Amino acid sequence: MESIIFFNGDIITIENKEDKPEAILVENGVIKRLGSLEELEINANGIINKIDLQGKTLMPSFIDAHSHITAYAKTFSYAKLNECKNIEDILKKLEEYRKQNKINKDNWIIGVGYDDNSLEEKRHPSKDELRKLGNNNPILITHVSGHMGVFNKRAEEILNLKTNNGYLEENEFIKVASKINNISKKQEKENLIKSQEKYLSYGITTVQDGLTKKEDFELLKEMSENKNLKVDIISYIDLEGNRETPKVNKDYIKKYKNNLKIGGYKIILDGSPQARTAYLSKPYEGEKEYRGYPSKTNEQVKNYIKISIDEKMQLLVHCNGDAAADQLINCIKEEEENYKEKNIIKKLRPIMIHAQTIRKDQILECKKLGIIPSYFIAHVYYWGDIHIKNLGKRAYKISPANTTLKNNLIFTFHQDTPVLEPNMLETIDIAVNRKTKSGVTLGEDEKIDVYDALKAVTINSAYSYFEENEKGSLKEGKIADLVILDKNPLKIDKQKINTIIICSTWKNGKEVFKNNNL
């Protein structure tokens, strides 16, 4: 047996803010003890491997509360459009992608990550503009949100689509786009390995696949069976179109099998506020009536909640607008009335994904019902200025972390990868400082301190997965999933949190990522 002792650095346990253990002992992938170096050396078994932190900081590794690892993996094979400044840039990127990948006639050209809000034209491209690339190849470009995109004329013909000059959004777009794939099985596996390495490089050891289609789960399952998964992956099955997957994979439900498990189901109730498709209770700025729209009827939502309760499966629910949040809250209340057991949904810990415009009264309702809000708080920086334009004063209360904290409701943070890179330090930085790209402080009263932000991406996220007894903090008996940082986020200038470097990441007491640039 090898015993590993980490010492000579700051150790953040997340168990208690005041904890300052001198060292930590790990054996067989599990935390055995925290205490003084001398004490741990006495209690260690077998060969002792002492790791000198040299003043660096050790803490529990980050836990991804919501992202899409299979979708992220696909992006490694697509044209990246996130840095395009105008439509001409998009066309150039797509042409470069076609040439570099030697894409033949009739094969798909796919680009991902453009943002109409960041383009000089301040609008979506059109199929007429995509025509400049010719009509031999079907083309699809997807918005950074993943909720809309543009097809060229050839793609429309192949898919028999009716669009608004190539543009589709929400339900119709998601349904069509999810079926398009120009990546070989071999490349998909290689991409998934690459995506795992990226998560590990950001100090993340537990990852979500937040809307798993049948073919995506088959890929994950094959990687699991071949023991190719380095991170723990929690799959949330697309409830609308993939009911069969859990039924035929019962040995993956709520328990890991070679680092993969099915955590529950996922549904989507609306769009995104930056695209003005989030379902709001009051109109968008500049509109008399338009306030977005729901993706599901109340009857559909109640049926999904019934499935969740009957199958005892956790439910992840995409709600960006406060009207969508109302719909979820009210449907849970109505459906629970059909069951004798009180607060039956509370035991299933449903998650409200994004919860961008959730109100204080809804936070209190979430607390009663046991709903956990998971905030995409990086919106404050990336789209905060757009939210001010679209939402007015409401923008200053997006992702209301401090209001949630003061009302003692557990919440998590996420980056919604591939929308953004899975950079938890960036998330913490934004939660603490709440600055937009233009430098506006978007909600001074919703700032939280660094320690509470750290909890949102560690122990709180573990709780959202029913894993708080195994992960999320440094405690005797917990899994040794660790990250080493070059600086202590509790001591560094709050404005510089995003400059902290991940030195190494450990899974089950083994180093799985090392920053060779240090």
pLDDT of residue 144: 92
Count how many Cα atoms sit within 13 Å of the Cα of residue 280 in the half-sphere of its side chain: 26
* Cα–Cα distance, 268 to 294 (Å, whole number): 9
CATH 3.10.310.70 boundaries in the chain: 78-177
Cβ contact 48:40 at 8 Å: no
From the number of C-beta atoms within 10 Å of its C-beta (0-12, 13-18, 19+), residue 18 rates as exposed
Give all strands of the β-sheet with 139-143 in edge-to-edge order: 79-80, 109-114, 139-143, 148-151, 167-169
| pLDDT score of 11 | 98
What global pTM score does this model have? 0.95
User: Which tokens hold the place of 411?
Assistant: 């919440």
CATH number for the domain formed by residue range(s) 2-60+481-514: 2.30.40.10
pLDDT at 355: 98
Cα gap 84→92, rounded to integer Å: 9
Check if the beta carbon of residue 485 is closer than 8 Å to that of residue 55.
Answer: no
pLDDT at 135: 83
Q: Boundaries of CATH 3.20.20.140 in the chain?
A: 185-464
CA distance 471 to 465: 10
Domain with CATH 2.30.40.10 in the chain: 2-60+481-514
Write the CB contacts of 100 (distance below 8 Å, at least 6 apart in sequence): none
CATH architecture of 78-177: Roll (3.10)
The pLDDT of residue 307: 97
**pLDDT attached to residue 106:** 82
* Strand arrangement of the beta sheet that strand 351-354 belongs to: 62-63, 204-212, 232-238, 260-268, 314-319, 351-354, 372-375, 412-413
Distance CA 204, CA 454 (A): 13
CATH fold, domain 185-464, is TIM Barrel (3.20.20)
> Residue 181 has what pLDDT?
83
Digitized pLDDT (tens) for each residue of the chain, 518 residues in all? 789 999 999 999 999 999 999 999 999 999 999 999 999 999 899 899 999 999 999 999 999 999 999 999 999 999 999 999 999 999 999 999 999 998 988 899 999 999 999 999 999 999 999 999 988 899 999 999 999 999 999 999 999 999 999 999 988 998 898 888 889 999 999 999 999 999 999 999 999 999 999 999 999 999 999 999 999 999 999 998 899 999 999 999 999 999 999 999 999 999 999 999 999 999 999 999 999 999 999 999 999 999 999 999 999 999 999 999 999 999 999 999 999 998 899 999 999 999 999 999 999 999 999 999 999 999 999 999 999 999 999 999 999 999 999 999 999 999 999 999 999 999 999 999 999 999 999 999 999 999 999 999 999 999 999 999 999 999 999 999 999 999 999 999 999 999 999 999 999 999 999 998 87
